[in-house]
Amino acid sequence: MKKRVLLGIGSNLGDKKANLETAIREIGDIKGVEITGISSFYITPPWGREDQDEFLNGVVEIETDMPPLELLHRLQAVEINMGRERKEKWGPRNIDIDILLYGEEVMDLEELKVPHPYMRERLFVLVPLAEIRPDLVFPDDGAHIGEVLAKALRNGKENIRKLDNSPASAH
């Protein structure tokens, strides 16, 4: 049975917009994956380590019947094919693809935690997520995306700006 999966994508090296567009194409080329939604792209400050360039972030919605760990490995292969090197946690990267939500499932595996453990703190995830899934309810605690986003906006210090001519804003 197909699951609705939400992916966070980000880049802060090279041509960031081109990196995100390439990643989206590569994700769409994975056998058994259908892209069903793409958010606008957002310019955001770095998270975790501030001495690096701004990020460009977005959210991609897919449908797949691929098991979660297989999907994770396929997405990591996309990152590697695009030249991603995992040198340091929260360091600069040309592409980052995270599984945010996998259907209604809650997972706490060594390799994969769903919902993504930091997503509720990150405006660069919540803003594009709310854009394409304003009806979203988190599977672990039943919180609505609107409530979670409002709390993050109250607590957050991030300056987040929508990039003109990005996917959702181009229609």
Q: Which of 49, 84, 108, 164 is catalytic?
A: 84
Q: Which of 15, 49, 98, 122 is catalytic?
A: 98
Active-site pick, 4, 96, 133, 164: 96
164 is catalytic: no
Active site residue 135: no
- CA dist 77 and 50 (Å) reads 27
Q: Is position 96 annotated as part of the catalytic site?
A: yes
Exactly one of 29, 93, 135, 164 is catalytic; name it.
Answer: 93
Is 122 one of the annotated active-site residues of the chain? no
Query: Which residues are identified as catalytic?
Result: 84, 93, 96, 98
